Structure 1
Amino acid sequence: MKAHSLIRSAGFVGLALALHGTAARADADTDLVKRGEYLARAADCVACHTASGGQPYAGGYGIESPLGTIYSTNITPSKNGGIGNYSEAQFDAALRHGIRADGAHLYPAMPYTSYVKLAPDDVKALYQYFMHGVAPVDGAAKATELPFPFSVRLAMAGWNMLFLDKAPFQPDPAKSVEWNRGAYLVEALEHCSSCHTPRNALMAEQSGQAYAGGALGAWFAPNITADPVSGLGGWSESEVVEYLKTGRVPGKAQAAGPMAEAVEHSLQHLSDADLKAIAVYVKDLPAIRDVHDQQPGHVFGSSNSDEATLRGVAGVSASNSAGGAELFSAVCASCHQPAGSGSKDQYYPSLSHNTTLGRGDTRNLIAVILHGVARKADGKDVFMPGFGADSLVNPLSDQQIADVANYTLKQYGNPALKVSAHDVAAAREGGEPPLLAKLPRLMPWLIGGLVVILGLVAWLFGRRRKG
């Protein structure tokens, strides 16, 4: 009986230990999924992989690139259209090297050029989250169809050989733990360089100009180096944290366009410690100055009004001609106030001491007037209507937008800057395309030229043979 009792007791103990081990593994997996969720927030995956009105991570969001619209893929754990059949190794290959499970190459609109620096443990946590913490959505997202030759994905293999730096993230032992955490967040998870660094002729980041500012279609991601004039050198660490968390720093800047999306979907959800680490790191980035900048953008401007001179002027609409002052009075002053001082609570910000009007680049000013502002951050819905062709309020022509932009620059910003109707027209089309984006339009001419050259060579060769 004693033997049987001992065996029974041993069995109960073994079962208890087994159950305890299973529970421990379940707890560990739950913790890993939660960590993966936080990392996915930091990496801003939902912003690009969720179409307007669509299911989270189901893809179909159109990323407007200079080479054409790139549609994000379904990254839910669906086995029918998503990544449910991906192994962890295949997930890692797509995330860090831009290679799908079927071997096809991704375009660097998916910032694997930054994610390549992710730590293996973070990749594992992300995999667990996307496989176990995201609701599956069946059906593939809309496929990307770029014009030839960009439709040849195999060309990305050569591009990666030239430009993909596969070196893992290496902490700097001479810096603090906080600085290194900020470096990892900025360089890898938040992939800040993909927007804030200018690109070369082949659309790769210019490493010698890291974080000096880059074009984003109609928008411009500004210089975020430590330069006190062109960058964030004149900002305190607390102001950087405030901007990342709320999308605004009164008297300096407000987030719009792609940055508003980053604040809404990613940055405001980070811990205070991580936001502080980002601020510490970017405040230490090597300073790069634009030679055209003479003073920080937020220094420009003062509040003044021409409203008294406009009393009795006929109403302004898109169908009549009007100067910038009249247009400002008609479509801007009700929110930003006649003197451009903004509302008392600065929900509608002051136009003076505002980097959008003081920075040495007018693209964001044009884009804001065209497309407006929409962000949800710090418990507030911030909205400004756009005045482009799809405006619900009062669509303005290219010249009218140029007029009101120039008026606000003269009154409240950098009066040396000028906006033309051509600048506005280019912004409506998504910004001035780089030379590489013009290649498809040049293809018929290039092919025609090649045919002519080959014809001449054949003719000359034929003459020599006859001779």
Structure 2
Amino acid sequence: MSNPSPHLGALLIIFAATALAGNCRAADPPHQAAAEIKRGEYLAIAADCAACHTAPRAKPFAGGLPIGTPLGTIYSTNITPSTDFGIGRYTEEEFSQALRRGIRRDGANLYPAMPYTSYAKFTEEDVRALYLYFTRAVEPVEQRPPSTSLPFPMNIRASMIAWNLLFLDSGPFVPDRNQSPEWNRGAYLVQGAAHCGTCHTPRGLLMQEEDSRALSGAQVGPWYAPNITPDPISGIGRWTKEELIAYLHTGHLSGKAQAAGSMGEAVEDSFQHLAAADLDAIATYIKTIPVVRDPADRVSRFSAGKMSSALAQLRGRDGIRSDSESDPGGAELFQGNCASCHSTEGQGSKDGYYPSLFSNSATGARNATNLIATILYGVNRTTSERQAFMPGFGGHPTDANPLSDRNIAALGNYVLTHYGSADTIITEQQVAEVRWGGPSSPLLALARGGMAAAAVIVLLGAALFIIRRRGAAAWRAKRTAPCT
């Protein structure tokens, strides 16, 4: 058998190179495509795509993570280049439509749990870089995640068409010529890739972000994303720019805050990996956004509380006694579960690993949601600096004696009274709500009520129409009947 023609070999090499290039522009040299893919990877980190599209102990970007919302559970999708279960058949334009308009390849609408309202700010160049990264550099995973099935009528995805018409600003980011390049870069990241408003901006009745109160704090499942405007009382106005950068990079700021919940994930998966210049740009922008003050806030959540201990009361002849062994008081619960790490006086450990319970945002805020959630779920955050860990006391299948809602309310109230916002009271009902994923939205009941009312109106209208037709028919029959 003769050797293949060298010309045929050259043609095969050219064909293979063309196939590998895929959707890259023909004019783009290989190094440029590689640079775009690298930028796409960085943007995927900045957008924290892995946090939602990677389930625990699962393959990257394969989806299947259950995301609790006030309207039900939404499962993230597979965004690997799998042709059967992921985005392998998406064109760049279809990818852009999903990313920035919330419209899937099949024309169905995504729910805004996928923050396309923020990703709409992406430039065409960055969308292309993301597309190349996800379709060329991510490993395909042949796995179908669970389907989202929200309760009626929220399961009607076409309703999002009207929602998008009302609330989606589909225009890309436009730089402010009156601001510095650093400020504009920060605005682009905060408003777009980092989608800070998705968590920190309160939502209206229809689950839309209330732009007039941007970044002033909002409920995110069982956690509360606090006010991060530059207001010195309600927000983070007393933080220096350097402190904000340090917090974004490590999730830790001694004497002020510890990142947990969704923010802990954002630090671990996204912010700690961003370039120093981008963190600086984000801090520059955040320090200039409009302040929002809650009139009910009298002191900063970072300065509330003081060192205190009830240990002496527990040891004396007239010591504190609970009503029963199964229902200990807050002081006993604190000494038994918290004091070994946070100290009997609440000042934390000397090295700062275990934070102080006073001058702490979780205990100093009037909204006690994050204190409840921290006790229930704990903290587990790993950065290049160190790991931050606190066990949750809400109970796991392997726990023999988890704290009840009543226990956690008692413990939380003890902590607030001695170390934080003493005027705030935690109830068992609040603990139960946080334990089960946070408050639900009245929108579901209103939508069902509205549809029921509309159905009644339609039925009444139909009945009235039939009655009138029958009446008219009877009248005509009487007019045309022969005289007798």
Q: Give me the TM-score of the superposition, normalised by structure 1.
A: 0.90
- Contact 1:315–1:330 at 8 Å: present in 2 too? no
User: Structure 2 vs 1, CA of residues 177 and 330 (structure 1 numbering), >3 Å: closer, same or farther?
Assistant: same
Are 1:311 and 2:311 matched, yes or no? no
Looking at structure 2, the residues matched to 24 and 446 of structure 1 have their Cα atoms a distance apart, in angstroms, of 54
Letter in 2 for 1:408: V
1:252 maps to: 256
SS in 1 for 2:97: helix
What corresponds to 1:74 in structure 2? 78
For 1:373, the aligned partner's letter is: V
1:388 is displaced (CA, Å) by 1.4
State whether structure 2 residue 329 is matched by structure 1 residue 323.
yes
**Does structure 2 retain, via aligned residues, the 8 Å contact 1:117–1:167?**
yes
Q: CA distance change for structure 1 residues 72 and 456 in 2, over 3 Å: closer, same or farther?
A: closer
Tell me the equivalent position of 1:438.
445
Alpha carbons of structure 1 residues 334 and 391: separation in structure 2 relative to 1, 3 Å: farther
Deviations 1:49-101 (A, max 9, x none): 00111000000011111111111100001112111111111110100100011
Contact 2:221-2:438 at 8 Å conserved across structures: yes
Correspondence for 1:351 = 357
Unpaired segments ≥5 residues, structure 1: 1-14
Deviations 1:146-189 (A, max 9, x none): 11111111111110000001122111111111111100010001
Give the distance between the partners of 2:26 and 2:462, measured in 1 at CA: 76
In 2, the alpha carbon distance for the partners of 1:453 and 1:182 equals 51
Q: State the alpha-carbon separation in 2 of the partners of residues 176 and 396 from structure 1.
A: 52
Structure 1 residues 133 and 385, CA gap change in structure 2 (3 angstroms): same
The residue aligned with 2:367 is 361
1:300 corresponds to which residue? 304
Aligned residue number for residue 12 of structure 1: none
Q: Does residue 279 of structure 2 align to residue 275 of structure 1?
A: yes
Distance 1:458 1:428, change over 3 A: same
- Aligned residue for 2:422, secondary structure, equals coil
Matched to 1:433, the amino acid is S
Q: How many Å separate the matches in 2 of 1:163 and 1:78?
A: 32
Is 1:337 the counterpart of 2:343? The answer is yes
Residue 101 of structure 2: aligned partner? 97
Shift of 1:31: 1.2
Query: Are the aligned partners of 1:398 and 1:425 in contact in 2 as well (CA < 8 Å)?
Result: yes
Distance 2:80 2:464 in 1: 59
Of 373, 379, 385 in structure 1, the residue corresponding to residue 379 of structure 2 is 373
**Quick one: distance in 1 between partners of 2:221 and 2:296?**
22
Equivalent residue number for residue 403 of structure 2:
396
| Residue deviations 1:378-404 (CA, integer Å, cap 9, x gap) | 342221111114275541111111111
Unaligned runs of 5+ in 2: 1-13, 19-24, 476-484
SS at match of 2:367: coil
Residue 156 in structure 1 maps to residue 156 in structure 2: no
Q: How many residues align?
A: 448
- SS of residue matched to 1:64: strand
Contact 2:314 2:320 in 1 (8 A): no
Q: Secondary structure at the match of 1:223?
A: coil
1:407 counterpart (406, 411, 414): 414
- Mapped to 2, the partners of 1:419 and 1:371 lie a distance apart of 17
In 2, distance between residues paired with 1:379 and 1:116? Answer: 33
**Which of the numbers 52, 59, 70 marks the counterpart of 2:56?**
52
Question: Does the Cα contact within 8 Å between 2:307 and 2:346 map onto a contact in 1?
Answer: yes
Match of 1:32, as an amino acid?
E
Superposed, which structure 2 residues align to 1:117-132 within 5 Å? 117-132=121-136
Q: CA deviation at 1:315?
A: 11
Query: Secondary structure of the residue that 2:67 maps to in structure 1?
Result: strand
CA distance in 2 between counterparts of 1:451 and 1:26 reads 64
1:37 aligns with 2:37: no
Deviating beyond 4 angstroms after TM superposition, the runs of 4 or more aligned structure 1 residues are: 21-24, 312-319, 391-394, 448-453, 459-464
Q: Give the CA RMSD over aligned residues.
A: 2.8
**Contact 2:62–2:78, Cα closer than 8 Å, also in 1:** yes
Verify the 8 A CA contact 1:316 1:330 in the aligned structure 2.
Answer: no
Structure 2 CA distance, aligned partners of 1:391 and 1:372? 16
Larger Rg, first or second structure (1 or 2): 2
Aligned residue identity for 2:328: A
User: 1: distance between equivalents of 2:445 and 2:313?
Assistant: 47
Query: For the Cα contact (< 8 Å) 1:77–1:135, is it kept in 2?
Result: yes
* In structure 2, C-alpha distance between the alignment counterparts of 1:389 and 1:316, rounded to whole Å: 22
Alignment match of 2:200 (pick from 183, 196, 201) = 196
Per-residue deviation at 1:462?
A: 4.4
Correspondent of 1:133 among 111, 120, 137: 137
Q: Separation in 2 of the partners of 1:41 and 1:128?
A: 14
**Which SS does the other structure have where 2:94 is aligned?**
helix
Q: Percent identity?
A: 50
Task: List per-residue Cα deviations over 1:429-449 (Å, max 9, x = no partner).
Answer: 222212113357x55x96499
29 and 452 in structure 1: CA distance in 2 versus 1, 3 angstrom threshold: closer
Aligned to 1:416: 423
**Compared with structure 1, are the counterparts of its residues 410 and 137 closer, same or farther at alpha carbon in structure 2 (3 Å cutoff)?**
same
Moved more, 376-385 or 134-143: 376-385
Between stretches 308-317 and 209-218, larger displacement belongs to: 308-317
Which moved further from structure 2: 380-389 or 178-187?
A: 380-389
Equivalents in 1 of 2:391, 2:183: separation in Å?
39
- Whether the 8 Å CA contact 1:398–1:421 is kept in 2: the answer is yes
User: Compared with structure 1, are the counterparts of its residues 412 and 23 closer, same or farther at alpha carbon in structure 2 (3 Å cutoff)?
Assistant: same
1:211–1:225 contact (8 Å) kept in structure 2: yes
SS in 1 for 2:131: helix
- Cα distance in 1 for partners of 2:141, 2:451 equals 44
Distance in 1, Cα, partners of 2:27 & 2:235: 51
Code of the residue aligned with 1:166 in structure 2: it is S
Asked if the contact 2:313/2:320 (under 8 Å) is kept, the reply is no
